[in-house]
A and B are shown apart, each in its own frame.
Chain A
Amino acid sequence: MQWGSASEFFAMGGYGLYVWTSFVATALCMVWEVLALWRRRAAARAEQRAALLGGTDETAA
């Protein structure tokens, strides 16, 4: 291992800003994509449930 200390690790030999921006941006994009899909799925299922319930009401009436 080439890191003497935690601060040395975060400094990345002076390239810390570039290296960590790259990794954090990638992580944020992936987390955002997963959360967005989660919400999209919940919304789609809620809408479908509402549509189906509306359908059963119509047939009952």
Chain B
Amino acid sequence: MSVNWSKYSSPQAFYPLAGRLIPWFAVVAVALMGVGLYMGFFVAPTDFQQGESYRIIFVHVPAAWMSMFLYVVMAVWAGIAMGLNARLSFMMAQAIAPTGAMFTFLALLTGAMWGKPTWGAWWVWDARLTSELILLFQYAGVMLLRTSIDDLRRADRSSAVFSLVGVVNVPIIYFSVQWWNTLHQGASVSMSTGSKMAATMLTAMLLMTVAFWLYSIAVILARARCIMIERESQPVWDEKPAVIPEAVEAR
């Protein structure tokens, strides 16, 4: 069976589809978060070096991964939008930025909560921390650029160009712990050397990562739907148009 994906590239078709998908992503995200938190707090053992403080990893690493991943996804949508001049793609790029910024903020905050007991400092100007802070400014830039330009098409294109240029920072963040001598510890999970963690720790962290990922999909789809209502002067493409009964009554 083949699915005609191009059918969903129009906002009119995307809107109800997203509406049907959101509850599934949300339910699975909450369930996986429950299992992940249980494993993280009750199954995973105490770390022999860092004691219980290491448990911050179960929100810190998923948040940091999402902050980088969402930026790349946002830049990809921005690129598609610029190439095809596609309305839906511009809306998707716009919908991703606030969630990406939130995860970047959380990665920095939980990092500070981990840094204080392990390094003795909330913040150091280390390559990993500094490049992640720059990522937060990039998200802020993408969003501010949009709100500061009144013309929608120019706002779309300017923030798309800004996000595309900024994507170079993502590999810098990722490889910063290898390229420079950082205080931040190296990768806990690596493609070449595998995991350096206990199996239950790794499982809990991966469960939380998948949960954060599904959460992001749900909120981004929900935000994209809001953006569609806000932008389009046409009637909502909802399954049950809320407009009709009142419109009939008004006559």
**Which A residues form the contact surface with B (CB < 8 A)?**
1-3, 9, 12-15, 18-19, 21-23, 25-26, 29-30, 33-34, 37, 40-41, 44-45, 47-49, 51-53, 56-57, 60
A19 CA to B98 CA, complexed, in Å: 25
Contacts of A29 in B (CB 8 A): 102, 105-106
Instruction: Judge whether A22 and B59 touch: CB under 8 Å.
Output: yes
Contacts of A14 in B (CB 8 A): 51-52
Contacts of B60 in A (CB 8 A): 22
Instruction: Judge whether A44 and B230 touch: CB under 8 Å.
Output: yes
Instruction: Judge whether B246 and A41 touch: CB under 8 Å.
Output: no
A9 CA to B52 CA, complexed, in Å: 10
8 A Cβ contacts from B65-122 to A: 98-99, 102, 105-106, 109-110, 113-114, 116-117
Instruction: Count residues of chain B with CB under 8 A from any CB of chain A.
Output: 41
A57 CA to B250 CA, complexed, in Å: 8
A-B contact sample (18 more), CB < 8 A, given A13-B53, A14-B51: A1-B42, A2-B45, A12-B53, A12-B55, A14-B52, A15-B53, A19-B55, A22-B56, A22-B109, A22-B114, A29-B102, A33-B102, A37-B222, A41-B225, A41-B229, A51-B233, A53-B246, A53-B250
Looking at chain A's contact residues, the main secondary structure is helix
Contacts of B243 in A (CB 8 A): 48-49, 52-53
**Which B residues form the contact surface with A (CB < 8 A)?**
41-43, 45-46, 51-53, 55-56, 59-60, 63, 98-99, 102, 105-106, 109-110, 113-114, 116-117, 215, 219, 222-223, 225-226, 229-230, 233, 235-236, 242-243, 246-247, 250-251
Contacts of A44 in B (CB 8 A): 226, 229-230
8 contacts between A and B (CB under 8 A): A18-B53, A18-B116, A22-B56, A23-B59, A30-B215, A48-B236, A48-B243, A56-B247
A23 CA to B60 CA, complexed, in Å: 9
Question: Within the complex, what minimum Cβ distance (angstroms) separates B122 from chain A?
Answer: 10
Question: Within the complex, what minimum Cβ distance (angstroms) separates A11 from chain B?
Answer: 8
- The answer to whether residues A33 and B219 also contact, given A18-B116, A22-B110, A48-B229 and a CB cut-off of 8 A, is yes
Contacts of A19 in B (CB 8 A): 52-53, 55-56, 113
Contact among A25, A30, A37, A48 with B110 in the assembled complex (CB-CB below 8 Å):
A25
A53 CA to B105 CA, complexed, in Å: 41
Instruction: Judge whether A18 and B219 touch: CB under 8 Å.
Output: no
A18 CA to B52 CA, complexed, in Å: 10
> What are the 7 tightest A-B residue pairs by CB atom distance, in nearest-first order?
A13-B52, A15-B53, A22-B110, A44-B229, A12-B52, A18-B113, A22-B113
Chain B: which residue is nearest A41 at the CB level? Answer: B226
A15 CA to B51 CA, complexed, in Å: 8
Contact among A3, A9, A12, A45 with B242 in the assembled complex (CB-CB below 8 Å):
A45
A57 CA to B247 CA, complexed, in Å: 9
Contacts of B55 in A (CB 8 A): 12, 15, 19
